């Protein structure tokens, strides 16, 4: 059986509708349209693979990244799983297997770009969707615009930002995108 698609009308390609994209210090540009990414004025579709660096021992990161690269991956997508970074409230840990900066720098050494998925809710088959137990036990509404929740998330986002801000594409780094939240589709005001 031969499969075919009977597309009578091509959907309009929308440009600059999401206010996304940016330029590196070297003048390289990435933009977004409704069908693909645009890199230096040409359509670009990265080949992305997922790896959750915090679930691996740091000494295995390079081997796994090189396997991905050998398989044709150009961009690594990775969660920053909050449940691992802040097991105790107020004690954020980016050491050892939680060292997001070292992981992103290693991706760069391996010739890979990064989509950083910072949650705060991440799923990834992780307990509490990656939320730390202490946050879940606070009894405040999560994944919404409750100011108590947002204040805690801002603190966490700022901690991640301090680790990676100079690794962003627009600053010459290899982080080409950041994903906020995960699988939240019906709360556009919150997003």
Indicate if the pLDDT at residue 5 is higher than 80. Answer: no
Measured between alpha carbons, how far is 99 from 57 in angstroms, rounded to an integer? Answer: 11
More confident residue, 185 or 29: 29
Q: Encoding tokens for residue 111? A: 């010739």
pLDDT at 3: 77
* Average pLDDT for the chain: 95
Mean pLDDT calculated for residue range 159-167: 98
Mean pLDDT calculated for residue range 111-125: 95
Indicate if the pLDDT at residue 18 is higher than 80. Answer: yes
pLDDT at 7: 73
pLDDT at 124: 85
Helix, strand, coil content of the chain in percent (nearest 5): 35, 20, 45
pLDDT tens column, 36-95: 999 999 999 999 999 999 999 999 999 999 999 999 999 999 999 999 999 999 999 999
Indicate if the pLDDT at residue 191 is higher than 80. Answer: yes
Q: Encoding tokens for residue 66? A: 């090189």
Name residue, tokens 């700022």.
158
Evaluated on CA atoms 62, 64, 66, 69, the torsion sign reads negative
HSE-up (13 A, CA, CB side) for residue 150:
6
DSSP 91-112: B---SGGG-HHHHHHHHHHTT-
Indicate if the pLDDT at residue 27 is higher than 80. Answer: yes
- Stated as kind and residue range, the H or E segment containing 11 is none
Q: Encoding tokens for residue 74? A: 């150009």
Tell me the Cα Rg of the chain: 18
Q: Encoding tokens for residue 164? A: 């990676």
Tell which residue, 28, 27, 74, 22, has the closest CA to residue 49: 74
């Amino acid at each position: 059986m031969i499969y075919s698609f009977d597309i009578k009308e091509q959907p309009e390609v929308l440009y600059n509708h999401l206010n996304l994209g940016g330029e590196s210090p070297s003048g390289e540009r990435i933009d977004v349209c409704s069908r693909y990414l645009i890199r230096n004025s040409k359509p670009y579709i990265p080949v992305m693979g997922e790896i959750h660096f915090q679930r691996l021992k740091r000494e295995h990161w390079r081997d796994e990244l090189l396997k991905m690269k050998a398989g044709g991956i150009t961009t690594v997508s990775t969660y920053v799983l909050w449940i691992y970074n802040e097991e105790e409230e107020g004690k954020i840990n980016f050491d050892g297997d939680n060292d997001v900066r070292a992981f992103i720098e290693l991706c760069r050494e391996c010739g890979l770009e990064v989509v950083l998925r910072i949650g705060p809710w991440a799923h990834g088959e992780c307990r509490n969707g990656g939320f730390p137990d202490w946050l879940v036990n606070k009894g405040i509404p999560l994944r919404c615009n409750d100011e108590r929740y947002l204040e805690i998330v801002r603190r966490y986002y700022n901690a991640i930002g301090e680790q990676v801000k100079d690794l962003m594409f627009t600053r010459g780094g290899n982080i080409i995108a950041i994903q906020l939240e995960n699988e939240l589709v019906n709360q556009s005001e919150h997003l």
